[in-house]
Amino acid sequence: MRYSAMAMLVFVMGVAAGCTISDTAGNLRGIKGVDGDRLTHINTRNYAVNLFMVKPLWGDATLNATVQSFADEAKKVGATKVRIVQSDESVMWYFPPLLGFIFTPVYSSVAGDALLP
């Protein structure tokens, strides 16, 4: 039973790897940014599976790729400038036990504001 659950987890990681998920919040009820700009808040996440914790196997969850995805999403909403508020990259070598050393789930996220003209 335990091995079938672990195999299912690896399958789900493989399917989800390479995904980019972006959420936007544009209705800030008239609140402007610090400089008086209109803004849209964007949160972008990338998921991947690395081989031996370092080499990308499925997807690309590096911080560089996630910032590029964030910038693409900002261009979609018509932004001319962005302000990145938070970024994070996590290598989950500990999950699942032992198998995580070989097929390592990785995710990174970037959150910030798209400044609209």
Structure confidence by residue, pLDDT tens digits, 34-76: 777 888 999 999 999 888 888 888 889 999 999 999 999 999 9
Distance, in Å, from the CA atom of 112 to the CA atom of 74, rounded to the nearest integer, reads 10
Backbone CA torsion sign across 97, 99, 101, 103: negative
Distance, in Å, from the CA atom of 69 to the CA atom of 82, rounded to the nearest integer, reads 13
Distance, in Å, from the CA atom of 11 to the CA atom of 103, rounded to the nearest integer, reads 11
Q: What is the pTM of this model?
A: 0.79
